[in-house]
Structure 1
Amino acid sequence: MPKIVDHEQYRQELLMKSFDLFAEKGYASITMREIAKGLGVSTGTLYHYFPSKEALFLQLIEELTKQDILNFLAEAGDAQTLAERIKTLMNFIAKNEDYFFKQNLLMLDFYQQQERTEVLHNQTLRRVWDDAIQALASYLEIEDRAIAEFIYCFVNGLISARMFESDTISYTEQSELLVNMLTAYLENRQKETLSEKIRK
């Protein structure tokens, strides 16, 4: 009796296993032949699931984003305040710092190989960005998308800075600063909204 293969599960397994291969060699340097060899499959099998290296990479980024969100939410628990939720987020990033370093470096390598207009109009990358922002806004219970985008950019900048200055930049210190800034900003906005209502 022939073995029944769950093609979607197999595709996801190939994707997740390819992350370390991409991270080790970089997007630009690695070939589909090398990826297939590293995964222990034929090049034909790899091309059956992914028509090109770019398609494989984009699907990988999409899958990693889904897994990152699920893994974080599984660990996050039930933080009550914005400060607690930001601290929980920073603790998760600190705990998985090496992984996020690899992910950021890999994304930079991919972007370096693309035309700026291709990146800007890439639907997969847009979807990944939107999914990450929506998940962050939902977890932090922030309705203003611009604030969620600011926090996401802040966190990614912090990860990049830690790659070079890990001894001098503290996740704890930075999360406290972020909480203080956001609290002051949100309180100020609340006062402005209240003043506006009173004037009307």
Structure 2
Amino acid sequence: MSSPERDKYHHGDLKTALIKAAENIIREEGVEGFTLRKAAKFAGVSPGAPSHHFNGTKGLLTAVAVRVFKRLGAELNALPLSGRAAQDLRTQAFGYVTFAANNPGLFRLICRVDLIDFKDPEFIQASFQALTQYAHAAAAYFGQEPPDLHKRAFRPHMASAMATAHGLAHMVIEGRPALLLETPDPASTFIETLLPAVLLATWPD
């Protein structure tokens, strides 16, 4: 590594470099292909750097998951609001499934309870904020109060809304549309042509 690179990392960029390296590996190879050694090599640092800065694999993957949730939140929160609860919920679910289809490896990571520290404060905040607009749309549709980060409680309507989008997302990234559609890109075709009808049947106006 060149001297300027070392200086850059000494000034606080090493953690960011490792997070980006881990994200790139997972994007290309899936979480199954991720190792701390690969992340260190990709970032151009010593093999022990990831463990030193993140206390091991779970720490680094949690940091990546925080970054992924922030990106998911940015995409979902940028979706237009129609003022109609059913339409807004369908829009959020469509965005959720689309994000998963575009980022299958990273989406699988944020679903892996065994690989992420789900009690990490930054992770809790990022995951909650990512789904804020989704949660408000679901609450409005079912006539319920929206979730509160500081009053964690099981909400059946939210569980139902999340299970629907989550199940559809996994169906897409696992290649199930190929069982329904004989097209060059079954996943994209499913999202573009069939998903809106599925969501309309689930949450009609």
Q: Quote the Cα distance in structure 1 between the aligned partners of 2:128 and 2:8.
A: 38
Amino acid at match of 2:166: N
- 1:41-85 CA-partner distances (Å, limit 9, x unpaired): 3334433431201111112112211221123212x1232112221
Q: Quote the Cα distance in structure 2 between the aligned partners of 1:172 and 1:148.
A: 20
What residue is the counterpart of 1:156 in the other structure?
166
Q: Quote the Cα distance in structure 2 between the aligned partners of 1:84 and 1:71.
A: 17
Where in structure 2 are there 5+ consecutive unaligned residues?
1-6, 147-154, 181-189
Q: CA deviation at 1:6?
A: 5.9
Cα contact 1:65–1:132 (8 A) shared by 2: yes
- Shift in alpha-carbon separation, 1:4–1:101, aligned structure 2, 3 A: closer
Q: Does 1:137 align with 2:148?
A: no
Q: Quote the Cα distance in structure 1 between the aligned partners of 2:201 and 2:165.
A: 12
Identity of aligned residues (%): 15
Q: Does 1:171 align with 2:195?
A: yes
Which residues in structure 2 correspond to 1:34-183 (within 5 Å)? 34-74=38-78, 76-93=79-96, 95-107=98-110, 110-111=112-113, 114=114, 122-124=118-120, 127=124, 130-142=128-140, 143=145, 145-162=155-172, 163-167=174-178, 168=180, 170-180=194-204
Q: Quote the Cα distance in structure 2 between the aligned partners of 1:103 and 1:29.
A: 12
Count residues with an aligned counterpart: 172
Decide which structure has the larger Cα Rg and report it.
1
TM-score (norm. length: structure 2)? 0.64
Q: CA deviation at 1:134?
A: 4.2
Q: Quote the Cα distance in structure 2 between the aligned partners of 1:171 and 1:147.
A: 21
Aligned CA RMSD, in angstroms, stands at 3.5
Q: CA deviation at 1:174?
A: 1.5
What residue is the counterpart of 1:191 in the other structure?
none
Q: CA deviation at 1:131?
A: 4.5
In structure 2, the residue corresponding to 1:80 is in which secondary structure? coil
Amino acid at match of 1:96: F
Q: Quote the Cα distance in structure 2 between the aligned partners of 1:23 and 1:69.
A: 18
Cα contact 1:104–1:160 (8 A) shared by 2: no
Cα contact 1:50–1:56 (8 A) shared by 2: yes
Cα contact 2:18–2:40 (8 A) shared by 1: no
TM-score (norm. length: structure 1)? 0.66
Where in structure 1 are there 5+ consecutive unaligned residues?
184-200
Q: CA deviation at 1:24?
A: 3.4
